[in-house]
Structure 1
Amino acid sequence: MNKKWNYSSFGIPDSYFVRGKAPMTKEEVRAVVMGKLRLQEEHIFVDVGAGTGSVSIEAALKLSKGKVYAIEYKEEALELLEINKNTFEINNLNIMRGRAEIELKKIASFDRIFVGGSSGALPEVLDYAHQHLTPEGRIVITAVTIETLNQGLQGLKTKGFQEIEVISVGISKGRFTGNYTLMEAQNSVYVISGMKK
């Protein structure tokens, strides 16, 4: 067990991470993403657009015999990713600095890939994932716009991925005000997943 997170469940609270202004997959959505990835302890996992590293760290904690590659190019996010890696005392996380379409080419094969952000390179990422995922490897993509949802969904279909699934995750969180609790909605997130056959 990790000193910072000594539970076996997914969905480490957001407050455990140093966040800054870099994007982060929030804890409830992250729990869904981790479930769709279906990790095994020896897997090689790639996180594209790692941001603060919340997904990378959750994966690294599960992959006791595996390895995590976190790809990120934004400087602030890279700094936060390094801080969070050290905070959680993660040893099996390799931070790759650069654009996904370039850095991915340094990884010959992997079992799971998560695309949380691709900065316009989603087609290239899907191409590489399809070619280099192991048989029955899984891909999970999150999208907050209809355009990215469509691009991801059509991309998986075109590449011949199987068991394709898309869900919409809408979370509302309670905010206490005096004697009352207001439910405040967060942005809906689409979670697309599929398996390579």
Structure 2
Amino acid sequence: MPSQLWPYITPGIPDELFENLPGIPLSQRELRLLLISQLRLKPDSVLWDIGAGTGTIPVEVGLLCPQGRVLAVERDEEVANLIKRNCDRFEVKNVKVIEGSAPECLHDIKPTPDRVCIEGGKAIQEILQAVWLYLPLSGRVVATAANLESLYAISQSFSQLRARNIEVVQSAVNRLETRGFSQTFVAADPIFIVSGEKLD
């Protein structure tokens, strides 16, 4: 259901509507749209969002899939509380915040997912190996990489796991901003979005 703060059925909540903390990554609106489209959500999907940061993805998906469930995994207590506050701001009731470090905490999480979003992280290969065990056939994983090393690690893991229907998208987003008396286009940091499915 739409919230009073975002009374629309489309994703793409402006970044400034989220509460944020200095130094905590916030997935920018345009990148969020790409990521959510790659998840290919169903009305009742169960999403694990690992490395949920500010909670932008859990909030957007929680609003898009009111019959679904989102489990947001975040290792830092202060950041986990931030996710909860953002869910409260948007009146999202179907997000549960899991405070813990992946992949170690994943075996305790219920229900198991049919969609997994992994937003960065140093242990990306270990996390991918772990979540693959919980995914059903036709389950889908979307992971982000901010550099070539992470992209290689994700690609190598997908190959070892025999993921199918692999897609790689690199964002190229420019936003119009006012600086002084002029308006100029400012580039958002490019990011790779890698997705794959468990089909056997």
TM-score by length of 1: 0.94
Count residues in correspondence.
196
RMSD of Structure 2 on Structure 1 (CA): 1.3
Q: Which stretch has the larger CA shift, 44-53 or 181-190?
A: 181-190
Q: Give the letter aligned to residue 136 of structure 1.
A: S
Q: Which stretch has the larger CA shift, 84-93 or 120-129?
A: 120-129
Aligned to 1:127, what secondary structure does the other structure show?
helix
Aligned to 2:114, what secondary structure does the other structure show?
strand
The aligned counterpart of 1:34 is 36
The aligned counterpart of 1:154 is 156
Q: Give the letter aligned to residue 147 of structure 2.
A: T
| CA–CA distance in structure 2, aligned partners of residues 154 and 106 of structure 1 | 26
- Give the drift of 1:184: 1.2
Q: Give the letter aligned to residue 32 of structure 2.
A: R
The aligned counterpart of 1:89 is 91
The aligned counterpart of 2:6 is 5
- Give the drift of 1:124: 1.7
After superposition, give the CA deviation of every residue in 1:117-155 in whole Å (9 maximum; x if it has no partner). 33x221221112211112111110111111111101111
1:189 to 188, 191, 196: 191
Aligned to 1:6, what secondary structure does the other structure show?
coil
- Give the drift of 1:178: 5.2
Q: Give the letter aligned to residue 8 of structure 1.
A: I
The aligned counterpart of 2:18 is 17
- Give the drift of 1:177: 3.5
2:125 to 117, 123, 126: 123
Aligned to 1:147, what secondary structure does the other structure show?
helix
| CA–CA distance in structure 2, aligned partners of residues 182 and 32 of structure 1 | 23
Q: Give the letter aligned to residue 5 of structure 1.
A: W
| CA–CA distance in structure 1, aligned partners of residues 88 and 66 of structure 2 | 17
2:11–2:64 CA contact under 8 A, matched in 1: no
1:68 to 63, 67, 70: 70
Larger % of strand: which?
A: 1
Aligned to 2:137, what secondary structure does the other structure show?
strand
The aligned counterpart of 2:45 is 43
TM-score by length of 2: 0.93
- Give the drift of 1:179: 5.2
1:112 to 111, 115, 119: 115
| CA–CA distance in structure 2, aligned partners of residues 139 and 39 of structure 1 | 11
After superposition, give the CA deviation of every residue in 1:13-54 in whole Å (9 maximum; x if it has no partner). 101100112111111000000000011111110000000100
Aligned to 1:136, what secondary structure does the other structure show?
coil
Q: Work out whether 1:80 is the aligned partner of 2:73.
A: no
Aligned to 2:106, what secondary structure does the other structure show?
helix
Identity %: 30
2:39–2:141 CA contact under 8 A, matched in 1: yes
- Give the drift of 1:79: 2.4
| CA–CA distance in structure 1, aligned partners of residues 105 and 59 of structure 2 | 19
